[in-house]
Amino acid sequence: MPTSPRILVSGAGIAGPTLAWWLARHGVAPTVVELAPAPRPGGNGVDLRGAAVRIADAMGVLPAVRELATDIRQLTFVDADGRRVAGMPTSTFNGPDDLEVMRGDLARVLHEATADDADYRFGDAVASITQDEAAVQVEFTSGTSAEFDLVIGADGLHSRVRELAVRPESEAAYPLGLCFATAAVDPDFGTAREVTLHNAPGRVAGVYRSGRHASAQAFFAFRTPRELAVPRDQQAQKELLRSHFDTDAWRVGALVDAATADPGFYLDAITQIRMPGWSRGRVGLVGDAAYCATLLSGAGASLAIEGAHRLATELAVGDGHRAAFARYERVLRATVRARQRSVGASSAMLIPSSRTAIRLRDQFTRLMVLPPLAARVFRPERARAA
């Protein structure tokens, strides 16, 4: 590889700009291509924990992220009449340095921090990839083409780069038998600084309302056959949501109406990406494109930041992309595997499959507020240190 390689990063979400920042610190000015016309706004809250917080601090973006952090303090479960049946403070499962920030806010901060370090090309995307031993030829949807030394796909769960050059999604995707939907709704649906959830067997509807944001975020999750083909047409997605939440319990019906009226409505299967390798030749992957753990892991943003930092660090060693890709994967894979395995407990708590399971979850949640047990379940490393 040349001393100043030409690197294309596809995706300007969280992993892409983080990778661009660290590549720039190692003397590489990458090109970042993003299909959206600007950093994507909205989205749900994402968590920064442990190493991701330290990396954000080293990048100088931590003060801005803290300024935008959500102020959610309470998780509350309600019954069909809206009465509280269980809940816990968010401090039960968050460490003192953990942060939660809306995904769109984090993406904007990362873009602003890297705008002078990378050549951002919004409103464009990778259309085709052809590589050989010497370089990668890329054609873009805009009709232009260029040659690069490396291409890195940071383009999410449905990565176009992965599909074109590493592994088809049909072989990489591991659906969990769950769907998730979210949309912006009027803040009156929720209680300030609180997440409110209502369960029926195999389903949850909820409202996430940060006191620092003008709107609330509605979210829904429901169990499905693993082989369910989620429609790509948005109207069909809305009909799918309505078919699973046709109820007058709590405020579910009104919440569905409000969510499906939002132009930013989003629905997809909850799917992990599991692959034997995260690269092929001169094309590599990072973040959800390589190892999506899903929102149930609470680790997607942290893994994106950790992975981007590690990949840039290994590429900077200068002993070739193959060695760098191999080290990056070897160092990160155990962490990814652990985060992916954690989703079983999370789905059982968030989306119990039966009324009995809902009652047991509620009882378990009441126990979680007891400090010794909460520390051992949610923060085992701190419990051991004590």
pLDDT > 70 fraction of the chain, expressed in percent and rounded = 94
Determine the residue type at 114. Answer: T
Q: How many angstroms separate the CA atoms of 47 and 39, rounded?
A: 19
User: In sequence order, what are the beta bridge partners of 34?
Assistant: 122
Q: How many angstroms separate the CA atoms of 311 and 127, rounded?
A: 24
Instruction: Report helix, strand or coil for 300.
Output: helix
Contact 350, 298 (CB under 8 A): no
Q: How many angstroms separate the CA atoms of 235 and 253, rounded?
A: 17
Q: What is the pLDDT of residues 238-290, one digit of tens each?
A: 999 999 999 989 999 999 999 999 999 999 999 999 999 999 999 999 999 99
Q: Give buried/exposed letters for 350-360 (b at 16+ CB in 10 A, else e).
A: bbbeeeebbee
Q: Which residue has the tokens 């070739």?
A: 320
Contact 250, 196 (CB under 8 A): no
Q: Which residue has the higher pLDDT, 289 or 40?
A: 289
Q: How many angstroms separate the CA atoms of 32 and 146, rounded?
A: 13
Whole-Å CA distances, 149 to 22, 128, 272:
17, 15, 29
Q: How many angstroms separate the CA atoms of 9 and 156, rounded?
A: 12
Q: What is the pLDDT of residues 229-239, one digit of tens each?
A: 899 999 999 99
Instruction: Report helix, strand or coil for 357.
Output: helix
Task: Give 368's pLDDT tier (boundaries 50, 70, 90).
Answer: low
Q: What is the pLDDT of residues 207-234, one digit of tens each?
A: 999 888 888 999 999 999 998 889 999 9
Q: What angle do CA 85, 86, 90 make, to 5 degrees?
A: 150
